[in-house]
């Protein structure tokens, strides 16, 4: 007991170090992605259409709990304080970003199966609804309201900035969060060469399609614009064959190539206004990601149902075989009461003959011979019962002649 008590402070210390290290890691990743996203803002320094920190924060709270909120708050406050506005507006924006992640994770845990939200179609739909309608409007509303109250944004530009902020957060939640949650909660520990090669193939196909349709490496012409629809092919392949995890990964690959191409003036979404171009990209990513996740979840549910049906069918066949084999024994057991009645006279004969058998074996041998004769008598009893009761016969009993040769042989041995 004393050893356990002495180890308790050490365990607590290690847990505290692990918790602090996790907070630092989450905060650093959030800050780096936030500064990268804010560099792409055009309509307002704090309203960017590319905001992956929302997906990082939501995934962190889903996977590691609500205790990760300090890292999100501090990182968001520092990122916004060093970009535009004042310390007060930075605190307000950080509060909105933190509430966005915490409220979204709470609703997903309560209504949409938590980290298992991508395993069923209805859960995927709930997750998308929570992100689009409830969670992300919190951050956009609190942040822009604080900026407008402090005079850092023109009221005539409030709606455009709000839509940009909201779509950026929605896309970050719908594209980044599934990848992190599905890879972190994956339980496929056994390596399968065929599945690995298929995963590599679908990711390579997504990269090739993205480079052909959206990258600036190829000159953008009107005849190249329809190639943007090729993104459906790797998404369908992943959804039908590889499950939700690879589907989300393919969407992330296409999102990265599409944003890179649009930023550098390539791809079918390029317009004169960079913010409008990014909004087109965001709507495209949302429109291919959510249906693909729904389809992959539905296919996964059907696969599990087929496997369960096969197992139940095999169990049903094995049970029927066992029943057919045990039917004769059940029939024989039904005759046991009648056996006792019919063979009662044989048992009485055995009971009367047992003492003589014992006395014959006791003559001139003393106490030890008497004990040994009792063992022989028990053996003789078992042999007699086996000869009188035959489970394999048609009626479950027989009429031996008493005393029969088998019982005599057992008694003599």
Instruction: Please state whether the peptide bond connecting residue 403 to the residue before it is cis, i.e. omega within 30 degrees of 0.
Output: yes
- Per-residue pLDDT at 48: 93
Q: What is the pLDDT of residues 321-338, one digit of tens each?
A: 555 545 554 544 444 444
Computed on alpha carbons and rounded to an integer, the radius of gyration of the chain in Å comes to: 39
What's the whole-number mean pLDDT along residues 342-352?
Answer: 45
Residue 203 phi/psi, 5° resolution?
-70, -40
Confidence of residue 344 (pLDDT cuts 50, 70, 90): very low
Span 22-41, mean pLDDT?
94
Residue 173 burial (10 A CB sphere; 0-12, 13-18, 19+): buried
| 333, two tokens | 């057991």
For residue 239, name the pLDDT band (cuts at 50, 70, 90): very high
Q: Cα separation of 124 and 239, whole Å? A: 13
Domain 1-185 fold is Arp2/3 complex 21 kDa subunit ARPC3 (1.10.1760)
Specify whether the CB–CB gap between 372 and 406 falls below 8 A.
no
Is residue 44 classed as helix, strand or coil in its secondary structure?
A: strand
Predicted confidence at residue 406, as pLDDT, reads 43
71: Cα separation from own chain's centroid = 26
Using an 8 Å Cβ cutoff, are 26 and 68 in contact? yes
Question: What's CA 203's distance to the chain center, in Å?
Answer: 21
Mean pLDDT to the nearest integer, 279-302: 94
pLDDT at residue 386 above 80?
no
Q: What is the DSSP letter of 48?
A: -
Mean pLDDT over 269-276 rounds to: 90
Contact criterion met (CB below 8 Å) for 116 and 130: no
The Cα 175–Cα 187 span in angstroms is 21
Give the residue extent of every domain in the chain. Answer: 1-185, 188-302, 327-412
Residue 57: pLDDT over 50: yes
* pLDDT value of residue 221: 80
Please report the DSSP string for 188-223 in residue order: --S--HHHHHHHHHHHHHHHHHHHHHH-TTS---TT
Nearest residue to 139 via CA among 114, 164, 156: 164
pLDDT digits (tens, 9 = 90+) for 112-168: 888 999 999 999 999 999 999 999 999 999 999 999 999 898 888 899 999 999 999
Would the pLDDT of 407 be above 60? no
Which pTM was predicted? 0.72
pLDDT digits (tens, 9 = 90+) for 135-146: 999 999 999 999
Q: How far apart are CA 180 and CA 253, in angstroms?
A: 13
pLDDT over threshold 60, residue 339 = no
């Amino acid at each position: 007991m004393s050893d356990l008590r002495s180890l308790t402070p050490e365990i607590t210390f290690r847990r505290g170090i692990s918790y602090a290290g996790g907070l630092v890691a989450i905060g650093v990743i959030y800050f780096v992605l936030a500064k990268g996203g804010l560099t792409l803002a055009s309509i307002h320094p704090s309203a960017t259409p590319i905001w992956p920190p929302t997906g990082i924060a939501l995934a962190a709270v889903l996977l590691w709990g609500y205790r990760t909120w300090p890292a999100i708050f501090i990182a968001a406050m520092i990122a916004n304080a060093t970009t535009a506005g004042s310390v007060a507006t930075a605190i307000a924006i950080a509060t909105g970003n933190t509430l966005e992640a915490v409220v979204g994770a709470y609703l997903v845990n309560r209504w949409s199966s938590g980290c298992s939200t991508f395993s069923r179609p209805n859960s995927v739909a709930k997750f998308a609804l929570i992100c689009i309608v409830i969670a992300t409007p919190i951050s956009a509303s609190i942040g822009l309201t604080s900026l407008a109250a402090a005079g850092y944004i023109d009221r005539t530009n409030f709606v455009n900035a709000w839509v940009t902020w909201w779509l950026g957060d929605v896309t970050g939640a719908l594209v980044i969060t599934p990848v992190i949650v599905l890879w972190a909660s994956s339980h496929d520990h056994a390596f399968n060469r065929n599945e690995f090669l298929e995963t590599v193939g679908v990711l390579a196909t997504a990269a090739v399609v993205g480079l052909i349709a959206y990258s600036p490496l190829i000159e953008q012409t009107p005849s190249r614009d329809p190639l943007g629809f090729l993104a459906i092919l790797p998404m369908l392949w992943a959804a039908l064959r590889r499950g939700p995890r690879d589907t989300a990964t393919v969407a992330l690959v296409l999102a990265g190539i599409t944003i890179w191409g649009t930023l550098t003036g390539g791809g079918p979404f390029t317009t004169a206004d960079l913010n409008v171009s990014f909004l087109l990209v965001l709507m495209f990513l949302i429109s291919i990601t959510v249906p693909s996740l729904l389809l992959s979840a539905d296919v996964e549910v059907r696969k599990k149902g087929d496997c369960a049906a096969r197992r139940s069918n095999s169990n049903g066949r094995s049970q029927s075989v066992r029943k057919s084999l045990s039917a004769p024994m059940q029939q024989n057991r039904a005759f046991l009461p009648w056996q006792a009645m019919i063979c009662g006279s044989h048992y009485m004969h055995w009971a009367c003959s047992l003492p003589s058998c014992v006395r014959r074996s006791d003559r001139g041998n003393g106490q030890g011979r008497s004990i040994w004769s009792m063992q022989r008598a028990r053996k003789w009893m078992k042999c007699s019962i086996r000869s009188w009761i035959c489970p394999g016969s048609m009626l479950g009993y027989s009429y031996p002649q008493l005393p029969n040769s088998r019982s005599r042989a057992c008694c003599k041995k």
